[in-house]
Amino acid sequence: MSKTRKPFAETTIAARAAIDQDPAFRAVTPPLYMSTNYAFDGYDSKGAYEYSRCGNPTRDALGHMLATLEGGAHGVITASGMAGIMLACQILKPGDLIIASHDCYGGTFRLLSTLAERGQFRVTFADLTDPGQHDSIFAEKCAMVFIETPSNPLLRITDIEAVAAQAKKHGALTVVDNTFLSPVLQKPLALGADIVLHSTTKYINGHGDVVGGAVISRTQEMHDNLAWWANCIGVTGGAFDSFLTMRGARTLTPRVLQQSHTAGILADFLSGHTAVENVYYPGLSTHPGHKLAAQQQKGFGGMLSFTLKGGTTALRQFIAAATGGSDAIFTLAESLGGYESLVTHPATMTHAAMTPDARANAGISDSLLRLSIGLEDADDLTTALDTALSAAQRAVA
């Protein structure tokens, strides 16, 4: 009787995915198949692939790699994270209710509310982080729950297992956007989710040079349905994008662990600084979701947010000092999860697509700044923050 081997760790999965499997020349690194179409063997006899919108070997290799990392059956690779969310929405029928995190990514909020306005389904944005509200949230029959945890940009934590159990009780599917942590730090399918999705633009690729998405299903049946829809509506990702994303994902574990470690150091530093009003980082014991994050996640992640004393005057000065000049090691830009550190002002950038009311409801104030911590040295980043905070303090003194 053969002994069952323990499952490979994420580092091993990412390093070994599709290695030495090239049937043509035994290329060690999986080749890039750019061809749009594939020859049929003869009359009514097609091979494994026919047309790249429906299927492509390079894209499939990435889908398989990410599904293995997430513990799912298979994954559909999409042209962007939003294309992935649009794909998940195809499961819903007119009249169906989707319940989504009230502080989800601004683009998700825009997509779900616009489709709901057009009658494609109904949507309720709710505070899923508060277990006390679950009974009232689930009072109405729903078809899907869409969780983003940690949420963007306040890093609120939702109990995936508890929400997925409630959803299951009501016959609803649970979808989790795992973009902020990646499978290295959180495995939503193991906690009861049916679908996990990513903007692979962020940590999975990690190199700031590909926009892409992934939708990974727990069951093959769900995957087959989503793969059918992805081909039908044409949201599948390109071969070269998949090739680059797979190359980026090879180093996912060391990058994410390092970024998470540095973010913890910077969150501690910001918490102790007199120019700072509030810090939002699940690794801080003062964070309301700290205990849950410690149970549910394998690390606290590379994202943090904070507000400054002194309102917009301090904020503008902080941004100018942190991101100006040729030796700045923070850049004022959207996106996240890359090797380079970024500062974002959610109210005017990532969350500008939300109405001011929706932002206020989600607690996203105009004085909030979000940091995506990259792979720069922690001491260098601390010094850069210290300098920018001093400049902010001088501006309001």
Q: Is 286 exposed, middle or buried (0-12, 13-18, 19+ CB in 10 A)?
A: exposed
List beta partners, residue 78: 213, 236
Residue whose pair of structure tokens reads 């549910």 in the numeric block: 296
Give dist(CA 127, CA 144) in Å, integer. 15
Using an 8 Å Cβ cutoff, are 365 and 120 in contact? no
The closest residue (CB) to ligand PLP is: 81
Q: Does 10 engage in binding with ligand PLP (CB under 6 A)?
A: no
Phi then psi dihedrals of residue 37, to 5 deg = -135, 165
In the set 59, 60, 105, 156, the catalytic residue is: 105
Question: Which pair of tokens denotes residue 280?
Answer: 């939002």
Residue whose pair of structure tokens reads 């049937």 in the numeric block: 23
Binds ligand PLP (CB under 6 A): choice among 120, 179, 262, 372: 179
User: Which letter does DSSP use for residue 186 in this model?
Assistant: -
Using an 8 Å Cβ cutoff, are 220 and 103 in contact? no
CB of 364 or CB of 388, closer to ligand PLP: 364
Beta-carbon contacts of residue 224 (< 8 Å; ≥ 6 apart): none
CB of 81 or CB of 183, closer to ligand PLP: 81
Piece in contact with ligand PLP (CB under 6 A), picked from 76-84, 131-139, 227-235, 295-303? 76-84
Choose among 228, 391, 268: nearest CA to 323.
391
Question: Which pair of tokens denotes residue 316?
Answer: 């503008």
Q: What distances in angstroms separate CA 215 from CA 29, 268, 324, one per listed residue?
A: 24, 34, 37
Question: Which pair of tokens denotes residue 37?
Answer: 């179409």
CB 14 to ligand PLP: min, Å: 20
Q: How many residues bind ligand PLP (CB under 6 A)?
A: 15
53 catalytic? Reply is yes
Piece in contact with ligand PLP (CB under 6 A), picked from 174-182, 233-241, 260-268, 276-284? 174-182
Binds ligand PLP (CB under 6 A): choice among 97, 211, 252, 322: 211
CB of 167 or CB of 303, closer to ligand PLP: 303
Q: What distances in angstroms separate CA 203 from CA 97, 183, 281, one per listed residue?
A: 30, 10, 18
Using an 8 Å Cβ cutoff, are 280 and 306 in contact? yes
Binds ligand PLP (CB under 6 A): choice among 199, 305, 317, 341: 199
Site for ligand PLP in 104-163 (CB under 6 A): 105, 107-108, 148, 152
Q: Does 103 engage in binding with ligand PLP (CB under 6 A)?
A: no
In the set 59, 156, 187, 202, the catalytic residue is: 202
CB of 199 or CB of 305, closer to ligand PLP: 199
Q: Does 80 engage in binding with ligand PLP (CB under 6 A)?
A: yes
Piece in contact with ligand PLP (CB under 6 A), picked from 101-109, 260-268, 313-321, 368-376? 101-109
Binds ligand PLP (CB under 6 A): choice among 177, 188, 235, 358: 177
> What x-and-dash track marks residues 213-252 binding ligand PLP by CB under 6 A?
x---------------------------------------
Torsion of CA 384, 387, 390, 396, to 10 degrees: -80
Q: Is the dihedral of CA 356, 98, 113, 210 positive or negative?
A: positive
Piece in contact with ligand PLP (CB under 6 A), picked from 66-74, 172-180, 221-229, 264-272? 172-180
Question: Which pair of tokens denotes residue 16?
Answer: 């070994």
Q: Residue 193: which H helix or E strand, with range?
A: none
Residue whose pair of structure tokens reads 């679908």 in the numeric block: 195
Q: Does 201 engage in binding with ligand PLP (CB under 6 A)?
A: yes
Q: Does 81 engage in binding with ligand PLP (CB under 6 A)?
A: yes
CB of 80 or CB of 323, closer to ligand PLP: 80
CB 161 to ligand PLP: min, Å: 20
CB of 226 or CB of 388, closer to ligand PLP: 226
Per-position b or e across 239-275, b if 16+ CB within 10 A of its CB: bebbbbbbbbbbbbbebbbbbbebbbebbebbeebeb
CB of 287 or CB of 351, closer to ligand PLP: 351
CB 80 to ligand PLP: min, Å: 3
Residues of this chain that bind ligand PLP (CB under 6 A): 80-82, 105, 107-108, 148, 152, 177, 179-180, 199, 201, 211, 213
**Active site (catalytic) residues:** 53, 105, 177, 202
